[in-house]
Amino acid sequence: MPYPYNPATVPASSYTPIPEGEYDVIIEHAEEQRSKSSGKEMMKLSVSILDGNHAGRKLWDYIVYDDNAARKFRDILRSCGLPDLMQDITPELFEGAAGRVKVKHELYQGERKAKLHYWIEAESGDAAEDDPDMPPTPTASDEPPIDEADLPF
């Protein structure tokens, strides 16, 4: 069945870039690809803003497998409250993970565009510390008492 298109009923475009600032996001899709510009392997993350006036708007992050990839993956893991442990990074690790990002604007072909600038580390006490599979962080009260007679000086 054909779609009955009528240009008179189409509202004027009101697209504006996502304003600069910090946003809670969810990673909806992650996939490995090859960079068109460098030819290197990379991971493409498709994220969606979770709340506010821009809920549902999309951003993308591209992590090229180069010298900066480890730092970028560390930032994403920490932002999303995922374990920051030695592991193989795969797209499945990120899908469905929620974090916080900083959005900035840049000029691209003469137009102002919103860009995912960086991932913001989760506050202490967030999901990473509440993970029951992670051992608790030792505190001073967990240390055995020291007998001064055992000190060598």
- Dump pLDDT digits (tens) for 40-67: 999 999 999 999 999 999 999 999 999 9
CA separation for the pair 45, 29 (Å, rounded): 6
CB 31 within 8 A of CB 44: yes
CA distance 118 to 35: 19
Give pLDDT, residue 126.
Answer: 44
Q: Which residue has the higher pLDDT, 117 or 1?
A: 117
Strand order in 21-34's β-sheet? 58-64, 41-49, 21-34, 98-108, 111-120
Q: pLDDT tier at 148 (50, 70, 90 boundaries)?
A: low
Per-residue pLDDT tens digits for 84-135 = 899 999 999 999 999 999 999 999 899 899 999 999 999 865 444 444 444 4
pLDDT confidence band for 14 (50 / 70 / 90): low
Highest mean pLDDT among 8-22, 32-46, 126-140: 32-46
The whole-angstrom separation of Cα 16 and Cα 87 is 39
Q: What is the pLDDT at residue 140?
A: 46
Q: In the structure encoding, which two tokens stand for residue 21, read together?
A: 């600032």
- For 136, phi then psi, to 5°, come to -65, 150
- Residue 30's pLDDT is what? 98
Q: Which domains does the chain have, with CATH numbers?
A: 19-124 (2.40.50)
Q: What is the pTM of this model?
A: 0.72
C-beta pairs of 44-49 under 8 Å, 24+ apart in sequence: 45/76, 45/94, 47/101, 47/116, 49/18, 49/23, 49/24, 49/25
Average pLDDT value for residue range 140-153: 50
